[in-house]
Amino acid sequence: MEADFDVKDFDNRNNGNVYPIFYWVPKKDEAASIAEGRPIFKDTEYVKIIVPGSSTSIVQKPVRDDDRRRFSVAYAKFKEGDPEQLIGTPLTEIPWLTRSQVEELAYLKVRTLENLADLNDNVCTNTPGMFDVKKKAQAWLKKSEEAKPFTAMSAEIEALRAEIAALKAAPPKVQAKG
């Protein structure tokens, strides 16, 4: 079903906590079909905008320029051929979530740690234990944010160590006497 309302209203109701999935839909080109005497279809870009935690709050519509701008990272992934277009930390990569929890969250349209941390409280109320899981996700993200400078520094140190090791392993340069 295509959206027959202003999608900005949809976002406002859900505090902008949505994620997109871009995909192709074959649409019949009536003029070309008549001209060719057979059905002619053209692929049309569509976007499905989903509210994590709600199986009923989904908008599907043809892609417009404002969708391409607004969801530019997901759109770029779509154009690169990435069917998932996942932005954030996949729940499958979170060590403290069980496989059952990941499956339950997938059913609720929650695909990333960021979606989980921003989950609507109404969804948490309807799912036992979800408030605790949401709080744990928020704490995990906060801890990651605080560790950012140290993570970057650690990566830089590892790169320097690798460079030093490569220099030590390289044969000595012979200097020409002149």
User: pLDDT, tens digit, for every residue of 129-161?
Assistant: 889 999 999 998 888 888 878 878 888 899 999
Question: Residue 83 above 80 pLDDT?
Answer: no
Read off the amino acid at residue 26: P
> Model confidence over 113-132: pLDDT tens digits?
888 998 888 778 888 888 99
Sequence-ordered list of residues with C-beta below 8 angstroms from that of 158, at least 6 positions apart, any chain: none
Neighbours of 107 (CB within 10 A): 9
pTM: 0.55
**Spatial distance between the Cα atoms of 11 and 29, rounded to a whole number of angstroms:** 32
Q: Do residues 51 and 17 touch, judged by C-beta distance below 8 A?
A: yes
Interval 47-70: pLDDT, tens: 999 888 777 778 899 999 999 999
Model confidence pLDDT, tens digit, residues 21-55? 899 888 888 888 888 777 788 889 999 998 887 77
From residue 49, how far is each of 57, 58, 101 by CA, in Å? 8, 6, 23
Tell how strand 41-50 and strand 19-28 pair up.
antiparallel
Contact 128, 134 (CB under 8 A): no
